[in-house]
Chains A and B, each alone.
Chain A
Amino acid sequence: MLKIDKLNLKFKSNGFTKNLFNDFDLSVNKGEFVCILGPSGCGKSSLLNILAGFEKNYTGSVLLNDEKILKPDIKRAIVFQDYALFPWLNVIENVSFGLKKKIPNRQECFMQAIRYLELVDLVGHSRARIHEISGGMQQRVAIARALAVQPEILLLDEPLGALDDWSRRNLQNELIKIWIELQQTILFVTHSVDEALLLASRIVVMNVNSEKVLDIQLEAEHPRKLDHPESVKIRLLIKEALSQKLKKNTQENAAQSSISDNIFDPTI
């Protein structure tokens, strides 16, 4: 369904060009829940920006259902870490924002939006203003807003990174519920290995050079436990993949740049 082939992205920043994704490949099937892990700066957000259609100066082919991705479209909805809700609209107006074109009738539009508010347990707050609800609730609104347009793929860029533990755990469960109920294809960027282990049906790990260093399927049933044998095994694989490549990389780049300790900090 999603097919990325030989992806390259060039940035020109203060004089010199930086090349991201050296011929990066990735294929995602319908209904997969793919978590992408990788050190800061490896290009996870850039990848989602390309998929969302914000960044069109890439080379290589990026196809969603055989259609080249060149501009934003409601087929590909995105959720950001900082919610990006529209503060001049209330909760339900935010959720129905993307539906206006498809459903001109305001009442029907709201009916559709309500279904997605139910999905994230926020019907009771449909008339609330954005600043009146908590961060966790705001992120649920953002997720409902993205789901309401019934996208073929849902892109999430560290969506739970700014939340407290309790809200994060809640939202993780909601996402699993949504994934199962809607059979939604999801591409989820995270910094937390555990989060990926709890959620994903497949984990992709990138290294600092934006190369794919691990691509592994997870079979365990949801809800998962982190001490499940599969989780334990895959966590080891992820850590190994990251540390190997980091070491190799450090040696390679030692002359040019020193890599700081916090470049990747898997929260265990």
Chain B
Amino acid sequence: MTEKSGKSSQTRVIFLLSLLLLWYVICKLEIYPPYLLPSPSMVLNTLKRGFLDGAYFPALFQSSKRVLIGYFTAVIIGSLLGLAISRFKQLSNSIGESLTALQSIPSVAWVPLALLWFGISESAVLFIVILEAFIPCSLGVQNAVKNIPPKLILAGRSLGCESFDLYKRIIIPAILPQLISSLRLSWAFAWRALIAGELFINGSGLGQTLELGRSLSDMSEVIAMMLIIAVIGYVADNILFRKLEESVNHYS
């Protein structure tokens, strides 16, 4: 098992190194001018400067704050809505189905409306993040509740669980693995929506820094931001949520 995971992390490192090498070679061959494709060392320098003189920290802090507020609001709304929809048939026929349609609208498509309603502000970004992130959570919870074997509910009820107890002792534990998967999916949506939203507002944030880099034609800044966004996304998704998913798996 450890040998296997050792092997796979080895492959991962080799793959990343070859990508880096490819990038380096393309730059060395000067196929594209540096202002279009900066070399790895230029990006590394930008990153180093950004962290060493502290310029990135306000951006990281602001973005994290926004995404966390938006994300937690979204998953609370989403889970409760999901539970409510699976409880009441009328809700499922009305809201339940429109959610699927809503989900197919990418977050950038909401930007014009959000800017119009909330101005070029923090709230516009939060709006987009919440809107994007609550849907997968709600759909996931709905689906999870639907998939609980009915006999489990019956068994719980005949052992003295009704209403609130039924949620606390049967429904929530039964959907927990799928709930965590939905939270993970919601996170991915929140993170994308955050960056998309931040591109359009003022103030500090990863998206803004990226947009600033674009307007100054500073491609190494742009790529540095993209790397940071990717790393944070990866760490949250593949390390945090993966661990969480494993810890609630009923069969491990």
Contact = CB atoms under 8 A, between A and B. Distances in A.
Interface of A: 52-54, 71-74, 76-78, 80, 82, 84-89, 97-98, 100-101, 129, 131, 145, 149
Given A86-B152, A86-B170, A52 B250 contact: no
B4 interface: no
Given A87-B251, A88-B176, A131-B251, A54 B160 contact: no
Contacts of B152: 84, 86
B149 interface: yes
A110 to B, nearest CB: 16
Contacts of B170: 86
Contact of A88 (B149, B151, B155, B250): B250
Given A84-B155, A86-B152, A101 B250 contact: no
Contacts of A89: 173
A60 to B, nearest CB: 21
Interface in B131-168: 149, 151-152, 154-160, 162
A72 B157 contact: yes
24 contacts: A52-B154, A52-B158, A72-B154, A72-B157, A73-B158, A73-B160, A74-B158, A74-B160, A78-B154, A78-B158, A80-B154, A82-B151, A84-B152, A84-B154, A86-B152, A88-B173, A88-B174, A88-B176, A88-B250, A97-B159, A97-B169, A100-B160, A129-B251, A149-B160
B159 A77 contact: yes
Contacts of A100: 160, 169
B155 to A, nearest CB: 4
B160 A78 contact: no
Contacts of A76: 158
A205 B218 CA distance: 85
B159 A74 contact: yes
Interface residues of B, number: 18
Interface in B60-86: none
A238 B247 CA distance: 53
Given A87-B251, A88-B176, A131-B251, A80 B159 contact: no
Contact of B158 (A77, A82, A101, A129): A77
Minimum-distance CB pairs A-B, first 4: A98-B159, A84-B151, A87-B250, A84-B155
A110 B169 CA distance: 17
B185 to A, nearest CB: 21
Given A52-B154, A131-B251, A84 B149 contact: yes
B157 A98 contact: no
Contacts of B151: 80, 82, 84
A123 to B, nearest CB: 21
Which of B156, B159, B162, B169 has the largest number of chain A CB atoms within 10 A? B159
B109 to A, nearest CB: 39
Contacts of B173: 86, 88-89
A254 B122 CA distance: 74
Contacts of A82: 149, 151
Contacts of B162: 71-72
B154 A54 contact: yes
A145 B158 CA distance: 11
B75 to A, nearest CB: 20
Contacts of B174: 86, 88
B176 A54 contact: no
A98 B169 CA distance: 11
Contacts of B149: 82, 84
Given A86-B173, A131-B250, A131-B251, A145 B154 contact: no
Contacts of B155: 78, 80, 84-86
Given A80-B154, A86-B170, A89-B173, 15 more contacts: A52-B158, A71-B162, A72-B158, A72-B160, A77-B159, A80-B155, A84-B149, A84-B155, A86-B155, A86-B173, A97-B156, A100-B169, A101-B160, A131-B251, A149-B159
